[in-house]
Structure 1
Amino acid sequence: MSNVQQPAGGRPWLAPWRSGWWALCHGTTSLLLLGPYLLVVLLVVLGTALTPVLLTGVPLLVAGRFLARLAGGLERRRYRTLLDVEIQAPGDPVPGRGWWRTLLGDVVMWRTVAHLALVCTVGALVGTLALGLVSAGTGAIFAPVLVESVSGVAGAGVHWPFGIPGTIPLPDGAVAAAGALLVVGVVRFAPYLLECEAGPARSLLRPPRTTEAALRRRVETLTTTRERAVDSVEAERRRIERDLHDGPQQRLVAVALQLGMARRALEKDPQADVSGFLAAAQGNAREAITDMRSVARGIVPPVLTDRGLDAALSGLAAAAPLPVSVEVRLSTRPVPAAEAIAYFCVSEALTNVAKHARASSARVQVWRDGTQLRARISDDGIGGAGADGSGGSGLTGLADRLGAVDGWLRVDSPPGGPTDVSVGLPGFDGREG
């Protein structure tokens, strides 16, 4: 399952086990929320059934609709926190539709109620199954100790089936090992069990794509992000032009002047010593190459087109002034535009880490989540960064560039650190893996 909690540390082998424990926590919260969610579903259903006959159903429906909105926000936060599934929140309903259509025709409310009903049935069943198996395995681990402490007799056994008297003797180690194996198996495969709930949640909790409100919000968002993206591209073009003029161009002019002086000196005296001119020209040529690499750092390199994100990001990590580990888990390559934007985001984030974070190490993770290309850049620095540009991080340009392609940026950087920059953007057509 590719959309579960990713590891923040430097031990990739721990990722499946961390994901399994987070999945068990999700199943536990599904059981705890069973009663409140059933109440919301009943309010909406009873209010809808009574509204056409008795006006007393209207308060029930209004209360159910309000609680359904709150429950939907809680579910999106729960999926983001425990399973690392990012689900966009729907906006407010379109005004001017009339109270009848607003109540009964609220698509967001009905989709949320359908999700809550799914949590109360499938989610509760999966949570009960997972927790029951973990409890049984934990009990088996400690069963030999409990049997010995209660009966004073070491060793454990199980009863014969079909009422046959006697027990099957089992050594203590076998019972404990079987319990440990059961717990490990449940934890390892818990994320896959929860996929039957998490899969429909992505469709039910996201904004309805065909509603007028969603279309209006999409037009407004695209208009804003396109304008900001154009401004960002123009600013980037001016930066490259300025950097080329102030850096490599001046170095190359110096190289030309020094070679010209060497040529004139040789024309006057073929035996003249021009080694000083040549050494200075060689030094300026080296400086020009360094400046060109610095300018080209924000431009998509050829290795990205030829070999993909893994090789390109490895090159970024090798050039970084601090240790950077890279983990790319992609079975297929994203579309070229998504690759380029992801590369730019990682490059900009690593630049911010080097300039502002005072970190000793950083980590880059890239993986696929459905049709989205996901990336996470984390460091152990001082924190205080923000997507609005606060803390000197300069992440506003990343948010603008991602917003222009329906992507998103999330920054978790409390004062004192660590910092986590998460990125998501459409990168796959959905026909594969």
Structure 2
Amino acid sequence: MATEYARHGQEYGAGRDHRNHRLPAGLRAPFEARSWREFGYVLLSLPMGILMFTYAVTMVSLGAGLLVTFLGVPVLAAALAGCRGLGVLERARARGLLDLEVAEPEPLRMKRHGVLAWTGAVLKSGASWRALLYSVLQFPWSVFSFVVGLTVWSVGWTLLTYPLWFWVFPMWAGQGGIQLYGDEHHRVFLDNPFEIGVTGLVGLLFTLATPWIVRALTMVDRVLVHGLLGPSRLSARVVELESDRGVVVDTAAADLRRIERDLHDGAQARLVALAMDLGLAKEKLAEDPRAAARMVDEAHGEVKTALQELRDLARGIHPAVLTDRGLDAALSSVASRCTVPVAVDVDLSERPAPAIEGIAYFTVSELLQNISKHSGARSASVDVWRVEDRLMLQVVDDGAGGADVSAGSGLAGLAERLDAVDGILVVDSPAGGPTRVTAELPWRR
């Protein structure tokens, strides 16, 4: 789905510091800009958490207390709207410091304009209540992450640099070094070279571990921001379905235009010419029977051509062999018209839904046309099988390769058609070949 991390290309570990390094990641992490940005995020989380928690609790409490009057509802709506505004700041903070791209939540749906309509829309919006929940939950987590992050960071760098500043204790504090233990009878100071070296080593371990501890803390922040301040799965699915519906409508309109153009430029033009030829033959029938017979013979050839064009057009709309005999026979028929030898292997124990079957047929048909026109291949293969509730198609050729979905070719339109029914198109076509196109469709009996 469009809102998932993989569909939008945004992973938790994605950052701006991915380069080739000779040092292992564990050694360079304390000095990377990404680690400092994440630490800055943890430090800023506490003041932001205090601000959001204070605002949310105060405004909601005020609104709840005023519900006995007519002021309670608009105050509560204002509280939710304020939480949505703070959510904008939090998404911007996550984007700038954590490289986390989170889409805006669904907008308010208002059928009318005015304060009452706005108040009702805010109160009925799930995004508003999720923003309020974030404002409440983020505060205790920000306190915990601030304390842990600041403690391990300061302890690590303090101990790591201890060999550089331990002289402060004997000179200014009147003791040999950091006091490790002390009671009325005995005290232990870190004051000899061995103890100072061990302290620096412990500080090094803390320093190397700190970025990963902070990164683990920010993972929770990422989940909170993405889950509570982004669009809900339901709204994202609605947007995706609306987009898919637009693709389906545009595709259907394009198909209708193509059919109209084929009829107008092909069969219709031939039938008009045929009618004119038959009219001329009728006029010549009495005075020149031979010429009339020749014209009728030519008209007979035009009739055959027009019938063949109509058959091709009907096959392009939905082939009868697909309806009668299924994908195996239909794809074998398409493969026989390809300019290169095509091996077809259909391993299906039953037939999928007619709509899915039709999409699978036209997908393979278009891919084979591309092979005939552009690939320069010597052979190709078509494999069709089922995996659980998915129909799998794979078309392979040994051509020149270089096919690219993002190039705006027919493959892009094919990918959009498959996406409209929750399908997937994957193209693997390195330069020099071979080209392997895999399509995945829902089964939908």
Aligned-pair CA distance for 1:59: 5.3
Deviations 1:350-407 (A, max 9, x none): x87xxxxxxxxxxxxxxxxxxxxxxxxxxxxxxxxxxxx9xxx999879958975889
What CA distance in whole angstroms lies between the structure 1 residues aligned with 2:95 and 2:220?
Answer: 17
- Which residue of 64, 70, 85 corresponds with 1:49? 64
2:216 is matched with which residue? 192
What CA distance in whole angstroms lies between the structure 2 residues aligned with 1:176 and 1:338?
Answer: 59
Kindly indicate whether the alpha-carbon contact (under 8 Å) linking 1:27 and 1:128 is maintained by their aligned counterparts in 2. Answer: no
What CA distance in whole angstroms lies between the structure 1 residues aligned with 2:233 and 2:167?
Answer: 62
Aligned-pair CA distance for 1:113: 1.2
Q: Quick one: which amino acid aligns to residue 4 of structure 1?
A: G
Map residues 148-159 of structure 1 onto 2, 5 A cutoff: 148-149=167-168, 151-152=170-171, 156-159=177-180
Distance 1:228 1:102, change over 3 A: same
- Is 1:4 matched with 2:132? no
What CA distance in whole angstroms lies between the structure 1 residues aligned with 2:243 and 2:146?
Answer: 38
Q: Percent same amino acid among aligned pairs?
A: 21
Distance 1:175 1:73, change over 3 A: same
- Is 1:145 matched with 2:164? yes
What CA distance in whole angstroms lies between the structure 2 residues aligned with 1:180 and 1:56?
Answer: 58
Aligned-pair CA distance for 1:87: 3.6
What CA distance in whole angstroms lies between the structure 1 residues aligned with 2:55 and 2:251?
Answer: 42
1:104 is matched with which residue? 123
Map residues 278-357 of structure 1 onto 2, 5 A cutoff: 348=404
Look at both structures and tell me which one has the larger radius of gyration over its CA atoms: 2
Report the 3-state secondary structure (helix = DSSP H, G, I; strand = E; otherwise coil) of the residue aligned with 2:53: helix
Aligned-pair CA distance for 1:22: 4.5
Report the 3-state secondary structure (helix = DSSP H, G, I; strand = E; otherwise coil) of the residue aligned with 1:5: coil
2:154 is matched with which residue? 135
Aligned residues: 285
Q: Quick one: which amino acid aligns to residue 5 of structure 1?
A: A
Taking only aligned residues, the RMSD between alpha carbons, in angstroms, comes to 5.0
Aligned-pair CA distance for 1:228: 6.6
Aligned-pair CA distance for 1:81: 4.4
Q: Quick one: which amino acid aligns to residue 167 of structure 1?
A: V
TM-score by length of structure 2 reads 0.49
- Is 1:89 matched with 2:99? no
What CA distance in whole angstroms lies between the structure 1 residues aligned with 2:197 and 2:251?
Answer: 63
Kindly indicate whether the alpha-carbon contact (under 8 Å) linking 2:56 and 2:132 is maintained by their aligned counterparts in 1. Answer: yes
Q: Quick one: which amino acid aligns to residue 181 of structure 2?
A: W
2:207 is matched with which residue? 183
What CA distance in whole angstroms lies between the structure 1 residues aligned with 2:91 and 2:364?
Answer: 35
Distance 1:300 1:149, change over 3 A: farther
Q: Quick one: which amino acid aligns to residue 175 of structure 1?
A: T
1:317 is matched with which residue? none
Distance 1:223 1:38, change over 3 A: same
2:246 is matched with which residue? 224
Aligned-pair CA distance for 1:84: 4.5
Deviations 1:30-73 (A, max 9, x none): 12422432243135413431341234445543432332222223
What CA distance in whole angstroms lies between the structure 1 residues aligned with 2:414 and 2:40?
Answer: 33
1:370 is matched with which residue? none
What CA distance in whole angstroms lies between the structure 2 residues aligned with 1:74 and 1:236?
Answer: 48
2:373 is matched with which residue? 245
1:284 is matched with which residue? none
Kindly indicate whether the alpha-carbon contact (under 8 Å) linking 2:190 and 2:196 is maintained by their aligned counterparts in 1. Answer: no
Kindly indicate whether the alpha-carbon contact (under 8 Å) linking 1:229 and 1:404 is maintained by their aligned counterparts in 2. Answer: no
What CA distance in whole angstroms lies between the structure 2 residues aligned with 1:138 and 1:198?
Answer: 26
1:428 is matched with which residue? none
Aligned-pair CA distance for 1:122: 0.8
What CA distance in whole angstroms lies between the structure 2 residues aligned with 1:394 and 1:78?
Answer: 40
Report the 3-state secondary structure (helix = DSSP H, G, I; strand = E; otherwise coil) of the residue aligned with 1:190: helix
What CA distance in whole angstroms lies between the structure 2 residues aligned with 1:22 and 1:347?
Answer: 40
Q: Quick one: which amino acid aligns to residue 8 of structure 1?
A: H
Kindly indicate whether the alpha-carbon contact (under 8 Å) linking 2:248 and 2:420 is maintained by their aligned counterparts in 1. Answer: yes
Report the 3-state secondary structure (helix = DSSP H, G, I; strand = E; otherwise coil) of the residue aligned with 1:3: coil
Aligned-pair CA distance for 1:176: 1.8
Unaligned runs of at least 5 residues, structure 1: 249-287, 306-334, 341-345, 353-388, 408-433
What CA distance in whole angstroms lies between the structure 2 residues aligned with 1:8 and 1:161?
Answer: 47
1:169 is matched with which residue? 190
Q: Quick one: which amino acid aligns to residue 91 of structure 1?
A: E
Aligned-pair CA distance for 1:114: 0.9
- Which residue of 22, 25, 28 corresponds with 1:14? 25
Report the 3-state secondary structure (helix = DSSP H, G, I; strand = E; otherwise coil) of the residue aligned with 1:42: helix
What CA distance in whole angstroms lies between the structure 2 residues aligned with 1:31 and 1:81?
Answer: 17
What CA distance in whole angstroms lies between the structure 1 residues aligned with 2:169 and 2:392?
Answer: 63
What CA distance in whole angstroms lies between the structure 2 residues aligned with 1:72 and 1:339?
Answer: 44
Report the 3-state secondary structure (helix = DSSP H, G, I; strand = E; otherwise coil) of the residue aligned with 2:166: helix
Distance 1:4 1:241, change over 3 A: same
Q: Quick one: which amino acid aligns to residue 184 of structure 1?
A: L
Report the 3-state secondary structure (helix = DSSP H, G, I; strand = E; otherwise coil) of the residue aligned with 1:160: strand
Kindly indicate whether the alpha-carbon contact (under 8 Å) linking 1:144 and 1:156 is maintained by their aligned counterparts in 2. Answer: no
Distance 1:192 1:337, change over 3 A: farther
Q: Quick one: which amino acid aligns to residue 243 of structure 2?
A: T
Distance 1:10 1:159, change over 3 A: closer
Kindly indicate whether the alpha-carbon contact (under 8 Å) linking 2:63 and 2:76 is maintained by their aligned counterparts in 1. Answer: yes
- Which residue of 71, 83, 87 corresponds with 1:68? 83
Report the 3-state secondary structure (helix = DSSP H, G, I; strand = E; otherwise coil) of the residue aligned with 2:179: strand
What CA distance in whole angstroms lies between the structure 2 residues aligned with 1:147 and 1:73?
Answer: 46
